[in-house]
Amino acid sequence: MAGELLTKAYVGGRWVAGRGGTFPVYDPATGEEIAKVADCTVDDVKEAIESASGAFEVWRKTTAKERAAVLTRVRDQLIKEKDNMATILTRENGKPLTEAKGEVGFAASFFEWFGEEARRQYGEAIPSSVPSKRMITIRQPVGVAALITPWNFPIGMVGRKVAAALAAGCTCVLKPAEDTPLTALAFAKVCESAGVPAGVVNVVPCSRARVQEVGAALTESPKIQVLSFTGSTAVGQWLYSRCGQTLKKLSLELGGDAPFIVFPSANMDKAVGGAMASKFRNTGQTCVTANRIFVHESIHDEFVKRFSEAMSKELRIGQGLEAGVNQGPLINKRQYDRLVKMVDESVAAGAKVVRGGKSPGGLYYAPTLLIDVTPSMPIARQEIFGPVAAILKFKTEEEVIRMANATDMGLAGYFYSNDLSQIWRVTEALQVGMVGVNEPMVSTCEAPFGGVKRSGLGKEGSKYGLDEYTDLKYICFGI
């Protein structure tokens, strides 16, 4: 597989051309075309659904131990192909190669976790209220899963979804983001090499022009019993409305607007390091990145000074395959133009640029630090999804909680404090699904990942991740 770019769709264990021809995939670092990929149509998707539906009748009957063995082989194959997959990922996504390698390992961890967790998906014996009955529960796979993954973690999110679906006994139809289909197709090859049975995993890429019709085909099919999507809230809402027609189970991981709060008692070194790690990973293009950084007025100037110094010292822009680079390009022109507009409008409204605020060319945007930001500015009201740190001052704990919760999103939140009572108060007050207390990195296969409010439904990872792909069946015995 080394060095190989796979461009055909993967359906029913076969590599097939898309009925819609091909579409180009570009390197965001250079603008050069990397490959032309199969542009799947509704008919291709229907074929993939039929393939997954047929395979489900066999896969569902395998034991948890048998499925675990398959998932372990996928994990091993991912690790074996880590360097090649990371190179493909960096070329089509732009993220630094070191981050890309870490992401492949992250994906592999879910196959290990869910392979083990599937064998521990226990039922219950329920005490009966009458002597003539015995009651138990078991979990069974839902059916065919439609999995729609984003461009910012093109193997990490594939791993998190596919591993859970397969461990539960489901089969899947995977639709990768149009900006990053090559990584998903490389993953399909991993599955093939690992001996995943034909039809259990199907990958159907498509161009941006076909996204809506392909999405509609997945939502409308009665053979798709569960849909899992990671992406924007707007698309999630559209999918949610469409899935109502067939009453599918839904798992939606949508937009984020994470607050990052620094209280006076915080360890300044850890707070600055945490803000750097949270804000600039993947060039700020993550749903759990620090979106609004709130700093207490008593330590504001010191934090800004040290944060700016850290940015100057630690961040290096460039092509992801270059050694030492940790800030790549934005994924495409739409995201770039959106970020430029957001920053320019905020500066016009009174925000001050401490560093950055411009582009060195192409789709690159200099890591930027803004102060004097107010809650009404665009940079504080929208998901930034880029390397821009917006600093807002606050006076009291009550004020910052109010500002942090003044959003319709609720995915992740972070804060730094060494006041134990405050830690409990703020943890419980933040309206988010995940909280990092003196810790910027919360994602791991062992923990539940998901949000509240308009940041989505359901949980991924952890023992709870299997719930999205199973039905709870109650059995009552008369004796």
Cα-flanking dihedrals φ and ψ of residue 355, to 5°?
Answer: -155, 155
Among 227, 231, 181, 186, residue whose Cα is nearest residue 207: 181
Q: Which domain does 267 fall in, by range?
A: 258-406+412-443
Which residue type sits at 109?
Answer: S
List the catalytic residue out of 47, 92, 192, 253. 253
For residue 2, is it within any domain?
A: no
For residue 204, give Cα distances in angstroms to 22, 44, 75: 12, 7, 22
Among 36, 425, 408, 471, residue whose Cα is nearest residue 255: 408
Partners of 391 in beta bridges: 293
Sign of CA dihedral 460, 465, 470, 473: negative
Of the chain, the end-to-end C-alpha distance in Å amounts to: 58
The secondary element (H helix, E strand) that includes residue 290 is: strand 290-296
For residue 127, is it within any domain?
A: yes
Contact criterion met (CB below 8 Å) for 104 and 78 = yes
Whether residues 331 and 428 share a domain: the answer is: yes
Whether residues 67 and 147 share a domain: the answer is: yes
**339-344 own/partner pairs: CB under 8 Å, 24+ apart:** 339/365, 339/384, 339/385, 339/386, 339/388, 340/365, 341/378, 342/378, 342/379, 342/382, 342/384, 342/388, 343/368, 343/370, 343/379, 343/388
pLDDT tens digits for range 141-171? 999 999 999 999 999 999 999 999 999 999 9
Among 52, 44, 34, 42, residue whose Cα is nearest residue 9: 44
Whether residues 277 and 417 share a domain: the answer is: yes
Sign of CA dihedral 160, 161, 164, 166: negative
Partners of 361 in beta bridges: 364
Strands 9-11 and 14-16 come out as antiparallel
Distance CA 183, CA 188 (A): 9
Distance CA 329, CA 152 (A): 12
Among 327, 253, 323, 334, residue whose Cα is nearest residue 287: 253
Q: How many CA atoms lie within 13 A of 188 on its CB side?
A: 31
Q: Does the annotation count 50 as an active-site position?
A: no
Say whether pTM exceeds 0.85. yes
Count of domains observed in the chain: 2
For residue 232, is it within any domain?
A: yes
Distance CA 258, CA 278 (A): 10
Q: How many CA atoms lie within 13 A of 35 on its CB side?
A: 21
Residue 85's domain is classified under what CATH number? 3.40.605.10
Whether residues 218 and 317 share a domain: the answer is: no
Distance CA 89, CA 184 (A): 9
For residue 32, is it within any domain?
A: yes
Whether residues 142 and 75 share a domain: the answer is: yes
Distance CA 73, CA 192 (A): 10
Question: Which two structure tokens, joined as six digits, stand for 17?
Answer: 């051309």
Helix (H, G, I), strand (E, B) or coil at 325: coil
pLDDT tens digits for range 265-317? 999 999 999 999 999 999 999 999 999 999 999 999 999 999 999 999 999 99
Distance CA 287, CA 232 (A): 9
Residue 384, Cβ density class (10 Å: 0-12 exposed, 13-18 middle, ≥19 buried): buried
Can you give the pLDDT at residue 302? 98
Among 409, 411, 360, 369, residue whose Cα is nearest residue 387: 369
For residue 3, is it within any domain?
A: no
The secondary element (H helix, E strand) that includes residue 291 is: strand 290-296
Cα-flanking dihedrals φ and ψ of residue 232, to 5°?
Answer: -75, 155
Distance CA 146, CA 291 (A): 30
Residue 281's domain is classified under what CATH number? 3.40.309.10
Residues counted in the chain: 479
Whether residues 112 and 234 share a domain: the answer is: yes
Can you give the pLDDT at residue 4? 77
Q: Does the annotation count 178 as an active-site position?
A: no
Helix (H, G, I), strand (E, B) or coil at 373: coil
Whether residues 142 and 35 share a domain: the answer is: yes
For residue 205, is it within any domain?
A: yes
List the catalytic residue out of 243, 287, 397, 445. 287
For residue 1, is it within any domain?
A: no
Contact criterion met (CB below 8 Å) for 200 and 171 = yes
Whether residues 222 and 266 share a domain: the answer is: no
DSSP state of 71: H
Whether residues 245 and 285 share a domain: the answer is: no
Distance CA 25, CA 44 (A): 20
Whether residues 281 and 199 share a domain: the answer is: no
Whether residues 274 and 420 share a domain: the answer is: yes
For residue 448, is it within any domain?
A: no
In the sheet that holds 133-141, the strands lie side by side as 124-126, 133-141, 470-478
List the chain residues with pLDDT less than 70. Answer: 1-3
Among 79, 89, 86, residue whose Cα is nearest residue 112: 79
Whether residues 213 and 130 share a domain: the answer is: yes
Question: Which two structure tokens, joined as six digits, stand for 180?
Answer: 């990053």
Sequence-distant (≥ 6) Cβ neighbours of residue 140 within 8 angstroms: 60, 169, 470, 471, 473
